[in-house]
């Protein structure tokens, strides 16, 4: 992820990179949480008990994780090539979408 | 405000968010010092509209959807809930994050850095594609309720 010889002209800013990676991680974890809560009643009940509805809890967790990870990763000044960042954002969106749609399709 | 009007606000905000994302995409194609302000304003507008769609749709889903869900599951199109609603309500959370990321990317150096411009293009395109899938799934859910009500009348 961090390379000393990465051309700076081909990298996005630290904030854009940080929040881009944060989006990718959060979207995949969110998709995995869908599988977990729908497969495990105790997880679902725990999420319901926290806010009154599992979907509200899920949304709050996603937003909190996205913002917290984004702020943390932005401050780390991660250097990642722009094309890798784009692939990460697009790839995680496709993967998360397939996990969610695939789970409910079965 | 009636619950039907609250429900209609959800796809309305969604469509407007998609239009704003298309606007961002078009501005990003020819990003320059002359249009960077418009690009950033459109990205913020898109994010605000996605959040409004989320809040209004989420309110309706949590408060009112239970009745429709029971109807759909007992009707001829149970997959309208089992697949389309379940997938939609969880994919929307990703769209919410992606829509929030769009202005963050747009406030990067879009004019001077080609990769940031490409990232804005990809992100706005994904917002539009995911938004269209939300609208399509919403149509299936709507039809699921309709055919369930029709089946009850026969």
- Minimum distance, in Å, between the CA of residue B104 and any CA atom of chain A: 6
Among the partner residues A11, A30, A86, nearest to B122 by beta-carbon distance: A86
The alpha helices in A1-106, defined as continuous H runs, are: 14-39, 41-51, 54-75, 82-105
Q: Does B118 touch chain A (CB under 8 A)?
A: yes
Chain A residues whose CB is inside 8 A of the B93 CB are 30, 58-59, 62
B104–A70 CB contact, under 8 Å = yes
Among the partner residues A19, A82, A96, nearest to B115 by beta-carbon distance: A82
Mutation choice for B interface testing from A50, A100, A105, A106 by most B CBs within 10 A: A100
Among the partner residues A55, A89, A100, nearest to B87 by beta-carbon distance: A100
One pLDDT digit (tens) per residue for chain A, 106 residues: 544 444 445 899 999 999 999 999 999 999 999 999 999 999 999 999 999 999 999 999 999 999 999 999 999 989 899 999 999 999 999 999 999 999 999 8
Residues in CB range of A20: below 8 A, 6 or more apart: A12, A85, A88, A89, B101, B105, B119
What is the ipTM for the molecules in this complex?
Answer: 0.92
Average pLDDT, chain B: 96
The domain in which residue B144 lies consists of 3-153
Q: How many structural domains is chain B composed of?
A: 1
CA angle A92, B135, B77 (to 5 degrees): 105
């Amino acid at each position: 992820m961090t390379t000393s010889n990465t051309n700076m002209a081909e990298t996005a800013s630290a904030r854009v990179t940080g929040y881009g990676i944060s989006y990718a991680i959060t979207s995949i974890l969110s998709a995995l949480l869908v599988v977990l809560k729908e497969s495990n009643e105790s997880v679902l009940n725990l999420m319901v008990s926290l806010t009154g509805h599992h979907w509200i809890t899920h949304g709050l967790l996603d937003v909190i994780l996205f913002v917290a990870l984004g702020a943390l990763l932005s401050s780390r000044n991660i250097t990642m090539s722009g094309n890798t960042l784009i692939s990460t954002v697009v790839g995680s969106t496709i993967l998360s979408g397939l996990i969610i749609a695939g789970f409910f399709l079965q | 405000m009636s619950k039907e009007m609250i429900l209609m606000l959800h796809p309305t905000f969604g469509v407007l968010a998609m239009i704003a994302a298309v606007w961002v995409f078009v501005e990003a194609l020819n990003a320059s010092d002359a249009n960077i302000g418009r690009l950033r304003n459109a990205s913020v507008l898109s994010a605000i509209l996605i959040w409004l769609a989320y809040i209004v749709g989420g309110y309706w889903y949590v408060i009112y959807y239970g009745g429709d869900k029971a109807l759909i599951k007992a009707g001829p199109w149970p997959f309208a809930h089992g697949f389309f609603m379940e997938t939609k309500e969880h994919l929307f959370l990703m769209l919410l994050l992606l829509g929030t990321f769009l202005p963050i990317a747009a406030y990067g150096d879009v004019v001077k850095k080609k990769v940031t411009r490409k990232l804005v293009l990809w992100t706005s395109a994904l917002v539009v594609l995911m938004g269209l899938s939300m609208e399509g799934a919403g149509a299936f859910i709507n039809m699921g309720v309709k055919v369930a009500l029709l089946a009850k009348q026969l």
